[in-house]
């Protein structure tokens, strides 16, 4: 679980799933380059790091609960790095950030880590259907895309509710 702001990570795993997730994700979770995402806000007050951890955990949980056979390393890696663009999108000035960032994140992930083509493809397609021509082509990509929508919706709704109080 993230130590940058634990409230951002909301997907709960069983103890066994938690151990399996940590075995796959641990090295990336502690990597200083990945930890840079703690410096950027994703939705409301949720950091990009916390959002990515939650997406990876959610995708992992969906695969396990739905008994979907996947490459768990590619799945978790894509979830953790799907928003690895390393800038504050709120002030970056790119009005088409939603369209551009999947490619930037995939390029950064491929440059900084030895990720599989399957993980890179899942990163590139995670904004579908916004990016109409980048349709997810693997079970891993579909699960990361779905998990991103679930987590983003939860973060956005949570933040709106918190601001009203």
Distance CA 70, CA 80 (A): 16
| Structure confidence at residue 44 (pLDDT) | 76
- Cβ contacts of 81 within 8 Å, gap of 6 or more: 28, 34, 52, 105, 108, 109, 113, 115, 119, 123
Residue 26, number of CB atoms within 10 A of its CB = 10
41 vs 115, which has greater pLDDT?
115
Q: Using one digit for the tens of pLDDT, what is the confidence trace for 45-102?
A: 889 999 999 999 999 999 999 999 999 999 999 999 999 998 877 777 666 656 688 9
With a cut of 80, say whether residue 39 has pLDDT above it: yes
* DSSP class of 2: -
Domain ranges of the chain: 6-164
Picking from 4, 13, 15, 128, the residue whose alpha carbon sits closest to that of residue 76 is: 13
Report pTM: 0.88
The CATH homologous superfamily for domain 6-164 is Hypothetical protein af1432 (1.10.3210.10)
| Structure confidence at residue 158 (pLDDT) | 73
* β-bridge partners, 43: 46
* β-bridge partners, 46: 43
């Amino acid at each position: 679980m993230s130590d940058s702001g634990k409230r951002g990570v909301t997907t709960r795993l069983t103890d066994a799933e938690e151990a399996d997730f940590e075995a796959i994700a641990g090295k990336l979770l502690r990597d200083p380059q990945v930890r840079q995402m703690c410096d950027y806000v994703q939705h409301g007050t949720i950091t990009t790091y916390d959002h990515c951890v939650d997406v990876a955990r959610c995708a992992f949980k969906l695969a396990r609960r739905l008994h979907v056979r996947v490459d768990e390393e590619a799945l978790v890696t894509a979830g953790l790095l799907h928003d690895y663009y390393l800038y504050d999108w709120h002030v970056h000035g790119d009005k088409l950030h939603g369209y551009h960032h999947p490619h930037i994140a995939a390029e950064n992930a491929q440059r900084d880590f030895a990720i599989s083509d399957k993980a890179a493809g899942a990163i590139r397609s995670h904004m579908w259907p916004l990016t109409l021509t980048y349709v997810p082509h693997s079970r891993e990509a579909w699960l990361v895309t779905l998990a991103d929508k679930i987590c983003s919706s939860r973060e956005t709704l949570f933040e709106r509710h918190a601001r009203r109080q």
